[in-house]
Copies of this chain bind each other. A is one copy, B any other.
Amino acid sequence: MLALFAAEPPKIDSGGTAWMLMSSALVLVMVPGLALFYAGMVRRKNVLTTMMQSFVAMAVIGVQWVTVGYMLAFGQTAGGIVGWEPRLLGLWGVDWHAMYGDKGIPELAFVMFQGKFAIITPALIAGAVAERMKFSTYIVFILVWTTFVYCPLAHWVWSPDGWLFKMGVLDFAGGTVVHISAGFSALVLALMIGKRRDYLPGLATEGFVILPHNLTMTLLGAGLLWFGWFGFNAGSAVAVEFPVSGFSAALAFTTTQTCAAAAGFTWLMIEWVHNGKPTSLGLASGIVAGLVAVTPAAGHIQPWSAAILGVLASVVCFLAVRAKNRFGYDDTLDAFGVHGIGGLLGALATGIFCIYNIAGEANQGLVFGQTTQIGLQALGAATGIGMAVFGTLLIGGLLNVTMGLRCSPEEERDGQDLSVHGERGYHQDIGS
């Protein structure tokens, strides 16, 4: 049957293509990973709705991406603002023999890889509003948000025509596009939607508390996230190198591993010194904080920088999470404290440690005495924050007055699993 394809000389790099497909699969498995990570921390009555907030993103954004999302983010630019290339609608005009740029991989492989990023980003936001956001509104929110906030931002930063890309802002695997945008949107949404009815941080030592119902789920989730993150970060070498599975990928893999390890260890130690109790959730939170922080920097920094970044990530995110308790807003699962702040740290750290800039010039980080890149990074981060905050205010505000952001008080009290989805996560089967 080979004859079928012989007409077209094989320009494919089979190794790079294998790595792209595998990386896409790895990013997909982060979604159940995230579902477990989040769901373990909520109460039994909300475990399914919390998992669904991740899973439904696979369904909804999975369709959105091949319909319009890919075009908006990676189509030919309309004035540097957004992609606009009608032949990409529904991937209608994408020949399945089309190659992606000069990277030796099919365009469809690139479409899929990027699609997974679009799926997981809005799902991160769910962590901030878990246990109270209305499910129907959530679906509409992630659809609109991905279309009007994520896709343009991805276009600005990652498309060769994007204005931030052209200025030289670095974002290897999505510190700004993914984590800053999700984290700051999470904060805004959490503030708009208000606290859970029984969230009383001031009384936390006096008895009114909400406890994670199953931390083994959260730990397994963290493990799957770490696993999948190698695809997320090392797969992002697709943007910078041929072959895709080459030096950049290996570097990104190494910094990812190192930063996560250092951050996990640091968070554990902070807790040990601070409370005398090194918690498993602390270890998992540190791992995730490290993974977030290294994301924008992964292919641009050296392993030892990644170790330092890991330490910083846990210190900064630990403080950010504590700040929540001081300010009293209810970011249920710390989507802002970990993704927003961790992503911001990573974006700036890329400017501090980077060993080459977008033009390929070496040693551009602050540690090498250069200040241009960190300025650019700050600009990129600020843009991401602005886009996230205003976009979410607008979309959230509109949805608030139309559909309502919040489930009913009874649904919140009884748990959305039963009241909204007609299911319970667990049944004891007494006598059956």
Which residues in A have some Cβ–Cβ distance to B below 8 Å? 1-5, 10, 12-22, 24-26, 28-29, 31-32, 35-36, 39, 43-45, 47-49, 51-52, 55-56, 58-63, 66-67, 90-92, 94, 96-97, 102, 104-106, 108-109, 111-112, 115, 135, 198, 210-217, 219-220, 222-224, 226-227, 230-231, 234, 239-247, 249-251, 253-254, 257-258, 260-262, 264-265, 268, 275-281, 283-284, 286-287, 302-304, 307, 356, 358, 360, 420-429, 432
Assuming A63-B307, A280-B55, is B257 touching A115 (CB within 8 A)?
yes
- The contact of A15 among B16, B32, B62, B210, by CB within 8 Å, is B16
Q: Is the interface of A mostly helix, strand, loop or mixed?
A: helix
Flag if B427 contacts A212 (CB, 8 Å): yes
Flag if B32 contacts A219 (CB, 8 Å): yes
Q: Which residues of B contact A56 (CB under 8 A)?
A: 264-265, 268, 283
Q: What's the nearest-Cβ distance from chain B to residue A358, in Å?
A: 7
User: 10 shortest A-B CB distances, which residue pairs?
Assistant: A62-B261, A32-B223, A14-B15, A277-B422, A15-B15, A4-B360, A14-B243, A59-B264, A18-B19, A106-B250
Flag if B421 contacts A31 (CB, 8 Å): no
Q: Which residues of B contact A210 (CB under 8 A)?
A: 432
Flag if B52 contacts A303 (CB, 8 Å): no
Pick the most buried of A63, A111, A260: most chain B CB atoms within 10 A of its CB: A63
Flag if A245 contacts B4 (CB, 8 Å): no
Docked CA distance A224–B251 (Å): 26
Docked CA distance A289–B46 (Å): 25
Flag if A360 contacts B3 (CB, 8 Å): yes
Pick the most buried of A62, A215, A239: most chain B CB atoms within 10 A of its CB: A62
Flag if A215 contacts B425 (CB, 8 Å): yes
Docked CA distance A428–B420 (Å): 21
Docked CA distance A223–B67 (Å): 23
Flag if A241 contacts B286 (CB, 8 Å): no
- The contact of A55 among B223, B302, B432, by CB within 8 Å, is B223
9 inter-chain pairs at a CB distance below 8 angstroms, sorted by A residue, are A12-B243, A19-B21, A59-B287, A105-B250, A108-B253, A112-B257, A215-B423, A277-B422, A278-B420
- The contact of A214 among B2, B258, B425, by CB within 8 Å, is B425
Flag if A21 contacts B230 (CB, 8 Å): yes
Closest to A14 in B: B15
Flag if A258 contacts B213 (CB, 8 Å): no
Closest to A48 in B: B280
Flag if A10 contacts B243 (CB, 8 Å): yes
Closest to A310 in B: B63
Closest to A52 in B: B280
Closest to A60 in B: B265
Flag if B108 contacts A254 (CB, 8 Å): yes
Q: What's the nearest-Cβ distance from chain B to residue A200, in Å?
A: 12
Docked CA distance A1–B170 (Å): 13
Flag if A66 contacts B307 (CB, 8 Å): yes
Q: What's the nearest-Cβ distance from chain B to residue A368, in Å?
A: 15
Flag if A35 contacts B260 (CB, 8 Å): no
